Structure 1
């Protein structure tokens, strides 16, 4: 079916207290595994291209890949540009067919973040594209670079949303990008406070390091989009290692990748069920 926007899939999540998963992909094989798993459990899904994925494919090919896979299924699929700080990349991605973009101005002073986010929103309206922005800062950048954590101040949330017109807001509540273990110390009191004041759906980044118990709780609040990247990457690479050990005679790279995707599907289904988005479409 045609690609959906972030606004379209988060509307029902808001009304019914669940979260739609956003999964980062890097190759065609993990992309298709994510979508097939979501189709099998009837969940909307947000496919996110960021960092190394965008450097590898570029906006035109990345958007085409997502659109090709989405056209084969009957569930809502969002093509989302994740963690983009370059205006040029954002505008090229909108033109290429992405239906949702995240402008990441979290490393900038708040006023500059607001000004840039507002520009992205104004352009996005012409394309019918949804916009996510970030207020506060997660403790590590998407590509693993060091970043000082700045927890989101609830008193700034309404002001930021009103001045920018964003459709969704990523906030910092204690997560860290790239965590291999589910040991993040989440400020659940801040989660509750932000959920009470936020005028738009909230987004949780770095959720691979969040415990299942905390994720289940957060998914029932105003956090309607929850991002999962590191866990998918880890499962994929570990599965490739296992395949090479059990099949030392294997010489076909495509077969190697295909044999390593079932565990991605298992992981995707686990996260979907945890977030409550199963059987929502």
Structure 2
């Protein structure tokens, strides 16, 4: 199948009160795990070319691998560039990505607005929606003053109004990476509500691994309709791989296959959590 319309996936989620999951691929097996999970659960999915795979194989090879595997499936999928630089976003548009995230969050605020606005102009000319980010997301275990990391409500209002982005990724207490034994702070649901009221566009939470179901449900109700999760799925893949490898001399393919199996199950669990099971295009059309 060809790529789905990302705006339709998010709009269906908004109307239906659920969220779509966005997950990173790392190789053939993890790509298959995501695609097969989407097929088996009839769930829409964002397949993300992210910051780990780009240094490993580059934007083009990662896209070609993902496209080749996804096109053979019946999955309702979008190939999305995650945390892209200026050059990577332009490359992604040329390659045929149907959704991009431009990450200018490290830039001064006014410069972030100016560069993001230009990306939006280019991407929208090709019919491609743009995600961007405001606020800072720390790594797990990092000691932070959260008020310095949260997305500012007034800045979010200005940023959305002046750039024309389609989705906004925000910082409300989430972290990158999950380490067992390190407790996470509760996310700030009121800040999500305030940002949603100020901007009016669908919101995105990165670093969604480790959230409780109560937090996921509250975030969805407050206006989050795309969750990015990676760490929990990588842990599942690693556990499967190591379970086989620990038995002694085994073929690498056997270990990778067990990792893939466990990652499929973990991905379907995420889809259940986000409420998007059975919400693929065919099922949504029949609903």
TM-score (norm 2): 0.90
Q: Would you say 1:241 and 2:242 are equivalent positions?
A: yes
Match of 2:175 in 1: 176
Match of 1:39 in 2: 39
Q: Would you say 1:185 and 2:178 are equivalent positions?
A: no
Match of 2:138 in 1: 139
User: Are the equivalent residues in 1 in contact too, given 2:135–2:171 (CA < 8 A)?
Assistant: yes
1:59 and 1:8 map into 2 onto residues whose CA distance is: 25
2:249 and 2:110 map into 1 onto residues whose CA distance is: 58
User: Are the equivalent residues in 2 in contact too, given 1:180–1:231 (CA < 8 A)?
Assistant: no
Change in CA separation of 1:10 and 1:110 when aligned onto 2, cut-off 3 Å: same
Aligned residues: 276
Q: Would you say 1:199 and 2:195 are equivalent positions?
A: no
Match of 1:210 in 2: 211
Match of 2:111 in 1: 112
User: Are the equivalent residues in 2 in contact too, given 1:215–1:275 (CA < 8 A)?
Assistant: yes
The residue matched to 1:22 in structure 2 has which SS?
A: strand
2:4 and 2:123 map into 1 onto residues whose CA distance is: 14
1:280 and 1:28 map into 2 onto residues whose CA distance is: 25
2:58 and 2:144 map into 1 onto residues whose CA distance is: 25
User: Are the equivalent residues in 1 in contact too, given 2:38–2:76 (CA < 8 A)?
Assistant: no
- Compute the displacement of 1:69 (Å): 2.1
* Per-residue deviation, residues 153-201 of structure 1 (Å, max 9, x unmatched): 2222232112111111001100010122462321122122223333211
2:215 and 2:77 map into 1 onto residues whose CA distance is: 26
Q: Would you say 1:78 and 2:64 are equivalent positions?
A: no
1:62 and 1:155 map into 2 onto residues whose CA distance is: 37
Name whichever of 165-174 and 50-59 sits farther off.
50-59
Counterparts in 2 of 1:1-281, with a 5 A limit? Answer: 1-84=1-84, 86-140=85-139, 150-181=149-180, 183-246=184-247, 248-250=248-250, 252-281=251-280
User: Are the equivalent residues in 2 in contact too, given 1:138–1:147 (CA < 8 A)?
Assistant: no
The residue matched to 1:203 in structure 2 has which SS?
A: strand
User: Are the equivalent residues in 2 in contact too, given 1:176–1:209 (CA < 8 A)?
Assistant: no
User: Are the equivalent residues in 2 in contact too, given 1:19–1:226 (CA < 8 A)?
Assistant: yes
- Compute the displacement of 1:147 (Å): 8.8
Change in CA separation of 1:120 and 1:147 when aligned onto 2, cut-off 3 Å: farther
User: Are the equivalent residues in 1 in contact too, given 2:161–2:199 (CA < 8 A)?
Assistant: no
RMSD between superposed Cα atoms in Å: 2.0
2:42 and 2:228 map into 1 onto residues whose CA distance is: 18
Structure 1: give runs of 5+ residues left out of the alignment. Answer: none
Structure 2: give runs of 5+ residues left out of the alignment. Answer: 281-287
* Per-residue deviation, residues 197-224 of structure 1 (Å, max 9, x unmatched): 3321100011113222211221233101
User: Are the equivalent residues in 2 in contact too, given 1:5–1:130 (CA < 8 A)?
Assistant: no
1:201 and 1:259 map into 2 onto residues whose CA distance is: 36
Change in CA separation of 1:147 and 1:167 when aligned onto 2, cut-off 3 Å: farther
